[in-house]
Amino acid sequence: MNIENLIGKIQQVDAGLTQQANKAVNQMLTIRNWLIGFYIVEFEQHGEDRSKYGDNLLPKLAIELKGRKGLSLTNLNLFRQFYLIFPEVGYILTDFMDVQILQALPGESKNPENSILQSLPEELKRAKKNKPFLEENEQTKITRSLIERLSFTHISLLLPIEDDFKRTFYIVEAIKGVWSSRELKRQINSLLFERSGMSKMPEKLTQKQKIPNSYQKGLVKDIYTFEFLGLPEKDAADESDLETALLDHLREFILELGNGFCLEARQKRILIGDEYFFVDLVFYHRILKCHVLLELKVNAFNHENASQLNTYLNYYKKEVQEENDNDPVGILLVTGKNKPLVEYATAGMDKNLFVSKYLLQLPSVEQLRAFLKEELKNI
């Protein structure tokens, strides 16, 4: 064996087992979430003191489980919804769970394939069979692929879809196209289902089930997976290499300017409603007494970029800003192709004295434009 063969074997083992590890983590996370949803619904329907808690059950659980990553009130609601919408996952649990995991479950669930199925309410058992556009073997195939190939972020995007057929359409398309969760969200928002005409041709859905052998390597870079593994949340943001390099340098550039900038977070995670978002860079400016949110887009300027940043600014005004703080300031940097553009967004601030002050304290448009031009030459 020569050195090239050795390197090749190491690379092959590393790639293969890393992919398998990512796959296993994703599957266990999804199954954990489903089982939590199952136990919540079980308690709601059969718990000895269920009437004592009523609508306060999930808030109570969230408080009691506060020290555990990923078990917030929002997530517990998602897990409950996951179980109610996909009860059929219970029929394939033993395909994914080894003996050690089964033994770790509570006593009544040592054989979840039987005990969970026996505990399913009758209306949910009927719901499993209430998909006339799928044969039973097709339903099993899709359910197994849902667990194997989609992250829980994908699944959380599918849960608000009320129509079974429409939801199944997006499951099949996401698996077939190896879509990222961002792409799935984009396709749902752009009404791909309605535009494709599939709502009028349900019989064609079963022609779309050629599941690719490739596995989405980025599944482990998922906010729910990072919570599950107890990893730093800042690493969960999905960025291109170019964005990462630019943001690393931009952070240092802003701090070197001085003028009162204090870095609070990189890829600051915020929860708006039931969706997670990430702000690229968050500073607090001790002279201006306000937060400065900076967003970088490696593309041409569009109104969605500005709208997104404005949403973040409004969130900070309502949820983060202290009584003595000034309104937050947003800076949007867009590289375009060859013409860097800098947009300031002030969230409607009309305090003239403050506006004059921040123009003196913040980096100028010329400084930021020169920085971006230079960075794009070097990266």
How would you classify the pairing of strands 341-345 and 261-272? unpaired
- Joined together, the tokens standing for residue 124 give 């949910």
Residue-level pLDDT at 355: 59
Three-state secondary-structure class, residue 285? strand
Between CA 27 and CA 251 the distance in angstroms is: 36
Between CA 182 and CA 296 the distance in angstroms is: 17
Average pLDDT over residues 222-237: 64
Between CA 21 and CA 14 the distance in angstroms is: 10
Residue-level pLDDT at 337: 54
Between CA 41 and CA 222 the distance in angstroms is: 26
Alpha helices in 298-351 (DSSP H): 303-315
Higher pLDDT residue, 71 or 103?
A: 71
Indicate the pLDDT class of residue 157, thresholds 50, 70 and 90: very high
Residue-level pLDDT at 81: 94
Residue-level pLDDT at 155: 94
Q: What predicted TM-score, i.e. pTM, was given to this entire model?
A: 0.64
Average pLDDT over residues 285-293: 88
Indicate the pLDDT class of residue 232, thresholds 50, 70 and 90: low
Indicate the pLDDT class of residue 129, thresholds 50, 70 and 90: very low
pLDDT tens digits for range 88-106? 888 777 677 654 454 455 5
Most confident of 142-146, 299-303, 344-348, 371-375: 142-146
pLDDT tens digits for range 178-194? 888 888 888 888 888 87
Residue-level pLDDT at 108: 47
Average pLDDT over residues 287-291: 88
* pLDDT(122) > 60: no
Between CA 285 and CA 263 the distance in angstroms is: 9
Residue-level pLDDT at 375: 75
- Of 136, 182, 121, 132, the C-alpha closest to 156 is 182
* pLDDT(79) > 90: yes
* pLDDT(294) > 50: yes
Average pLDDT over residues 77-85: 93
Residue-level pLDDT at 182: 82
Between CA 328 and CA 278 the distance in angstroms is: 16
Residue ranges per domain, the chain? 3-229, 239-378
* pLDDT(336) > 70: no
* pLDDT(143) > 80: yes
Average pLDDT over residues 371-375: 78
Decide: 226 and 235 in contact? Cβ < 8 Å. yes
Per-chain mean pLDDT for the chain: 75
Buried b (16+ CB within 10 A) or exposed e, 38-75: bbbbbeeeeeeeeeeeeeebbeebbeebeeeebbbebb
Is CATH 3.40.720 what the domain over 239-378 is classified as, yes or no? no
Most confident of 1-5, 275-279, 320-324: 320-324
Portion of the chain with pLDDT greater than 70, in percent: 70
Strand partners, 272: 275
Sequence-distant (≥ 6) Cβ neighbours of residue 104 within 8 angstroms:
none
Average pLDDT over residues 109-132: 48
Indicate the pLDDT class of residue 112, thresholds 50, 70 and 90: very low
